[in-house]
Chains A and B, each alone.
Chain A
Amino acid sequence: MILSVEDLTVSFDGFTAVDGLDLAVEEDELRCVIGPNGAGKTTLLDMICGKTRPSRGSIKFKAHELTELIEYEVTRLGVGRKFQTPSTYEDLTVLENLEISYPKKRGVVGSLFFARDAALMDKIDDVARRIYLGDHLGVKAGLLSHGQKQWLEIGMLLMQDPELLLLDEPVAGMSPRERERTAELLTGVTAGRSTIVIEHDMAFVRMIAHTVTVMHQGKVLAEGSMDEIQADPRVIEVYLGE
């Protein structure tokens, strides 16, 4: 097991967003988390990556207790997080965005004397190809379409080779074809890493998920295969609709 969440709880603004949540993710697993707007899905990712501190409970990533760490420490342990809205460096090119995400030599001296070497360029080429931007290395991120920006942000995470990848609505705003390609992209990068994806697009979830967890009011409402989840009357009532 790579991630083990136990009794996780957090309140803010007088409201318990996540409430005694238990969740376990295995190595090489691609887990989808679905659930109504406001169920606490994004807040769960916020706590795993150290952005929000839980009021109770534990998050174990391999041997580490993440609840005591701050964001950059969590990142350096190998947890990569993509937020809902794409956040790339608009004035930098695709190549520069990928380069700046490369975790080696990031101290002050390392940054000052940083030079692109062959290994780094190979890595950038490999990632750019995976995210379908191999022909766009010189294009500024600000000129990419919304879907391409989403891919670039996934690429920036892949540059860090995270063992746990957290993706919040990665296909939001994408066309049907881009969604299919994103599914291929994610299926292709799961070997050797675990991924948690939050999504509302059920067709997309069906393409990628090994297991689906349904959250509702900060708790786990149901967990199982896509077929089991889509047939579950409680999930239909609070989330899918008739």
Chain B
Amino acid sequence: MLTVERLNVSYGESRVIRDVSFSLGRGESIAVMGRNGMGKTTLFKALMGLLPVRSGRVRLDGVELTNKKSYERVAAGIAYAPQGRMIFPYLTVEENILVGLETVTDKTVPRYIYDVFPVLWNMRARRGGNLSGGQQQQLAIARALVTRPKLLLLDEPTEGIQPSIIKEIARTLHALRSEHGFAILVSEQVLSFAMEVADRFLILDKGEFAYESPKAGVDTSRIHAYLTV
């Protein structure tokens, strides 16, 4: 469904993503892992159109996205919860979620959102900026989920979230994925969370994929080695 071919992304002269190719099937979930500075966030930003690509192609369901603007990619079915949350601080919690509903016809917040994130229900009338960091992270994930994406990009989604809710998010993503059939690309440092959410693992090392494995038979010690070199 998502096809990335020989993607190259640079900051000035510094090539951060080097000839990266991969594809993601409908309903499939891939965890992109790797140490900091290896290009995970850069890859996500390039897929979302927030950074220009130097060369290569990105397609979703056959639609060429390589040089499309971010909002055109949202319209094409990509949702993104960025690292650093980036919720709208002066909008209420509910208004923040409604922003995500721009792409769908039914403008009411789906029930499951408040089931998974009860704190967002309790705080729905409060300004996003008054939420704690971990609550803002939950809001960013909720805002991405309600767009009913074909592809959900989650950049370090567990950052700042309390342990019990991390477990809850893993279960929910699993359930929603089988129900709605969207694909997930998640960058994650917490191996236990990645193991629960992903079907396949890609290790990004110096801008290239150094190791790839399906969940069955994954060599966790090898992944751990890449994360801790």
Contact = CB atoms under 8 A, between A and B. Distances in A.
Interface string A160-174: 000000001100111
Given A146-B36, A172-B160, A38 B135 contact: yes
A111 interface: no
B163 A240 contact: yes
Given A37-B132, A178-B36, A13 B126 contact: yes
B228 A176 contact: yes
A175 interface: yes
Nearest to B138: A37
Nearest to B164: A241
Nearest to B35: A175
Interface in B36-92: 36-37, 41, 83-84
B168 interface: yes
B162 A239 contact: yes
Interface residues of B, number: 37
Given A13-B126, A38-B131, A177 B163 contact: no
Contact of B160 (A35, A84, A180, A240): A84
Interface in B123-161: 123, 126-127, 130-135, 137-138, 156, 159-161
Contact of B132 (A42, A143, A173): A42
A15 B126 contact: yes
B224 interface: yes
Interface in A131-175: 143-148, 168-169, 172-175
A169 B135 CA distance: 14
A70 interface: no
B216 interface: no
A36 B162 contact: yes
B160 A200 contact: yes
Given A13-B127, A176-B227, A37 B35 contact: no
A55 interface: no
A200 B134 CA distance: 10
B119 interface: yes
A174 B168 contact: no
A121 interface: no
Given A176-B228, A202-B163, A169 B36 contact: no
B133 A84 contact: yes
Contacts of A168: 133
Nearest to A34: B162
A37 B228 contact: no
A202 B165 CA distance: 14
B106 to A, nearest CB: 28
18 contacts: A13-B126, A36-B134, A36-B162, A38-B119, A38-B123, A42-B133, A84-B160, A143-B11, A169-B133, A174-B189, A175-B228, A176-B189, A176-B224, A176-B228, A177-B35, A238-B164, A239-B162, A241-B164
Interface of B: 11, 14, 34-37, 41, 83-84, 119, 123, 126-127, 130-135, 137-138, 156, 159-165, 167-168, 189, 191, 224, 227-229
